[in-house]
Structure 1
Amino acid sequence: MTASAAPLPRALSPEARTAVYYSTLFMGAALSNVYAGLWMAGKGLSPDEIGAVNAVPLAVMLVLNWLVGRLADRASDWRGVIVGGALLAALFPLGFFAADGFWGILLVWTLAGLPHMATVPVLDAAAMRMTARRGTAFGALRAWGTAGYLAVLLVAGWVMERLGPAGFAPLMVGLAAVRAVAALGLPRFRAPEGETEARGARHLREVMRPWFLLPLLGGAAVMATHLVLNAFQGLLWQAQGFGLGTISLLIALGAASEMLVFFAFGRIFGRFRARTLMLASAGLTALRWAMMAQAPGLPMAILLQASHGLTFAMGFLAAVQFIANWTSEEIAAEAQGFFVVLQQALSVATMSGFGLLMAHWGVGAHWGSAAVAGLGALAIWASWRLQGP
């Protein structure tokens, strides 16, 4: 089957076919976020080695994301790069069956993760352009990614209890294969010949100015603070006396809130300017982390998790919209990849800093996250002062 062939019915709209792929996009991440550490520990890796295995792909992506974005923009359509990445991301996980020891697992984990991580910003940029041209909602498509993540999160525990740690590798391979099959059904994203939009910068250097960079830095700082939840929040809640079942429900509540905002973004927030929403997201994020630093009880924890849609999803969609407002299709993936590079760089710094603060202050480490989000809000506000909409 060629890359242009699609197993999904052509009667499905481009949005429906993209939504199907989005629904598979983060399934593997849901499984690995919960069980990869346990699988690696069962293979004999120490906590430091597990941390290194997770950090190396992020470090490589600091270079690769921007490069892949530039290559995707130069292709006849972004679809080819996305499909190619999905196929590679389905092939490399087969190495999990043979991987053993630190270096073997590091190699397979990196090779399996890079094609997927490199094409996510390309997909976001492509879907954003397609929906803008067709008058549909990008947020509603992106919501299906959270829906797939949440579905695996809820089912994985039941499956892994029955299969044990040995079930991790076949499940990862199976989920990657499902994603690759769904990728074959993706539509063409670029505007047809003669309908390409003319507005927006045609080269990234045209917008490399403080008024454009500051919101991206601010938005990346806000996104980076949310990664702390995946790495540390379960431990902090457990230290507060929350049971594992309660912690799982709190994590699921955050994902559900995120999905709701993604679905409703256009109807509720469509009238607001992108930087206004980015600033609101940053301010709410700083408040959220400041309240979490107080080690609140369960009722307040529920409320703070319910705000995840406003602090994360609203800020993410507003940032994607801001980039699309000022750039043309010719650099769509490159510009989105640049934003992701900023997120990854700040994520490494934020995660490292939070770990150090947590060792000394425990839950008070959230004050550091609140400060980072506050600086992000200041950067976005400064952009308004430099250049209005």
Structure 2
Amino acid sequence: MTFPPRELSPEARTALFYSTLFMGPALSAVYSGVWMAGKGLGPEEIGVVNALPLLLMLLLNQGVGRVADRAADWRGVIVGASWLAAAAALGFLAVDGFWGILLVWTLATVPHGAVVPVIDAAAVRMTARRGSAFGALRAWGTIGYLGVLAGAGWGLERLGGGAYVPLLVGLGLLRALAALGLPRFRAPEGGVAGGAAGATTPGARSLREVMRPWFLLPLVGWAAIYGSHTVLNAFQGLLWQAQGIGLGTIGLLIGVGAAAETAVLLGYRRLFGRFRARTLMLASAGVTVARWAAMALEPGLPVLWALQALHGVTYAMGFLACVQFIANWTSEDIAAEAQGFFVVLQQGMSVAAMAGFGWLMGDWGAGAHWGTAGFAALGAGAIWASRRLQGP
């Protein structure tokens, strides 16, 4: 028997891969900073180690997507990049010092980052063809992330910090093995892979065909919404702690947001399938503005629980609507390239949002969320302008 079993459906094998996709990043979110500090790296050096892969992914993501689109199937690029990341992670077992860690971290992180837009593009096309739900597959990425996030601190406390690197290498290998079980995503010539429940929507065969304001504005606008969410990971725990909220409660608040995200991903087609993509994107943007404005007022815990529960709408619903919007207007010829372009926009907006929030937080504290609310409002305006330029 192979791993994963070939008798599983294409959706099940794709969900299994998604469940492993963010396990390594979850482990690193808990302990990478501690590990790097233990290796003698200072805060500035740790910042450089984390920033360089992001910069390289900004430069490479769209090109990787173009290569994946020209391949016989997106699967080959996903498998190759997953094994490249797993092999590079072996370097952590021997690396020491700033330059060595910078090299290995970059070599392991960049291929993983390149996989995400390609698997998203491939999965959304496959599910459209087979009549299944992309959101339900993508939800397994969040479930896998949460599972490792919940167990990482407990496990490392008992196993010791020395277990971090072996666990990181093992999770990379698990992801690469899961990639081997991925199905063929493209439809064969003259037919539909895995049996058809519907035909692929025709669309632009090159990005130049859709590089118009009505297409770009909603993607740029929702990328600003995405960027405003990235400050949660970097700063929100500090802000809540300053407001007197305990670490245990902070963990539960983060968990509520992740649970809401998972619920919307799983139920997206049933809950929102009848709405148009840009309508959902605009709704996501509007609720985001209200969420950050409320955060700026430093509300008490009862309100914070409700605001965290909105994460499913402000993030998950908007993200899936963007993926669908791109798929509606582009053909399979540029599926991964178009998704890679969207990821580049998200990363660029994230850099702007993080820099701006950090600057505002020094003087305003939680009031810095007025800045993220304004940033999100600009995104909402861009989506609204697109609808005015060209209706559904």
TM-score by length of 1: 0.97
| Cα offset, 1:198, TM superposition | 6.5
Q: Is the 8 A contact 1:42 1:165 kept in 2?
A: no
Aligned partners of 1:376, 1:108: CA distance in 2, in Å?
36
**Overall identity of the aligned pairs, in %:** 72
Q: Deviations over 1:15-74 (max 9, x none)?
A: 000000000011111111121111112222121221111111111111110000000000
Corresponding letter in the other structure for 1:23: S
- More deviation in 35-44 or 216-225? 35-44
Structure 1 residue 9 displacement after superposition = 2.1
Q: What value does the CA root-mean-square deviation take over the aligned residues?
A: 1.2
Q: What displacement does 1:7 show?
A: 2.6
The answer to whether the 8 A contact 1:61-1:114 is kept is yes
For residues 308-343 of structure 1, what are the alpha-carbon distances to aligned partners after superposition, in whole Å with 9 as ceiling and x for unaligned? Answer: 111000010000000000000000000000000011
| Match runs of 1:335-346 below 5 Å | 335-346=338-349
Distance 2:368 2:119 in 1: 34
Partner of 1:217: 220
Distance 1:44 1:352 in 2: 26
Provide the residue aligned with 1:54 in structure 2. 50
What is the identity, as a one-letter code, of the residue corresponding to 1:279?
Answer: L
Equivalent residues in 2 for 1:116-265, closer than 5 Å? 116-195=112-191, 197=200, 199-265=202-268
The whole-number CA distance in structure 2 between the counterparts of 1:352 and 1:165 is 31
8 Å contact from structure 1 (residues 216, 319) kept in 2: yes
Q: What is the 5 A alignment of 1:229-378?
A: 229-378=232-381
CA apart distance, 1:95: 1.2
SS class of match (2:190)? coil
Aligned residues: 385
- Paired with 1:93 and 1:7, the residues of 2 have a C-alpha distance of 21
Q: Is the 8 A contact 1:77 1:188 kept in 2?
A: yes
Farther off after superposition, 137-146 or 51-60: 51-60
In structure 2, how many angstroms separate the alpha carbons of the residues matched to 1:72 and 1:310? 31
Using a 3 Å threshold, how does the CA distance of structure 1 residues 214 and 362 change in structure 2: closer, same or farther?
same
TM-aligned CA deviation for residue 163 of structure 1: 2.2
| Aligned amino acid, residue 254 of structure 1 | G
Distance between the aligned counterparts of 1:55 and 1:165, measured in 2? 24
Following the alignment from structure 1 to structure 2, what is the Cα–Cα distance between the partners of residues 311 and 386?
24
Residues 33, 230 of structure 1: 8 Å contact kept: no
- 1:28·1:176 contact (CA, 8 Å) conserved in 2? yes
> How far, CA to CA, are the matches of 1:46 and 1:237 in structure 2?
25
How far, CA to CA, are the matches of 2:35 and 2:286 in structure 1?
Answer: 38
- Quick one: distance in 1 between partners of 2:296 and 2:58? 30
User: CA-to-partner distance for each residue in 1:241-300, whole Å, 9 max, x for gaps?
Assistant: 111111111111111110000000000000000000000001111111111111111111
Q: Contact conserved, 1:254 with 1:305, CA < 8 A, in 2?
A: yes
Provide the rounded CA distance (Å) in 2 between the counterparts of 1:87 and 1:265: 31
Q: Deviations over 1:159-191 (max 9, x none)?
A: 011123222111111111111111100000001
Asked if 1:92 is matched to 2:95, the reply is no
In 1, the alpha carbon distance for the partners of 2:357 and 2:41 equals 23
Letter matched to residue 305 of structure 2: I
Q: Is the 8 A contact 1:21 1:186 kept in 2?
A: yes
Aligned partner of 1:345: which letter?
G
The corresponding residue for 1:112 is 108
Point out the more displaced range, 296-305 or 334-343.
296-305
> Which is further off, 366-375 or 34-43?
34-43
Which AA in structure 2 matches 1:31? L
Q: Secondary structure of 2:294's match?
A: helix
Does residue 73 in structure 1 map to residue 76 in structure 2?
no
Alpha-carbon distance in structure 1 between the residues aligned to 2:201 and 2:269: 24
Amino acid at match of 2:91: G
Deviates more, 1:98-107 or 1:347-356: 98-107
Question: Are the equivalent residues in 2 in contact too, given 1:65–1:337 (CA < 8 A)?
Answer: yes
Partners of 1:341 and 1:200 lie apart in 2 by: 21
Hey, what's the Cα distance between the residues in 1 that align with 2:377 and 2:168? 37
The answer to whether the Cα contact below 8 Å between 1:6 and 1:186 also exists between their aligned partners in 2 is no
Partner of 2:6: 10
Q: What is the CA-CA distance between 1:302 and the residue it aligns to?
A: 1.1
Any unmatched runs of 5+ in structure 2? 193-199
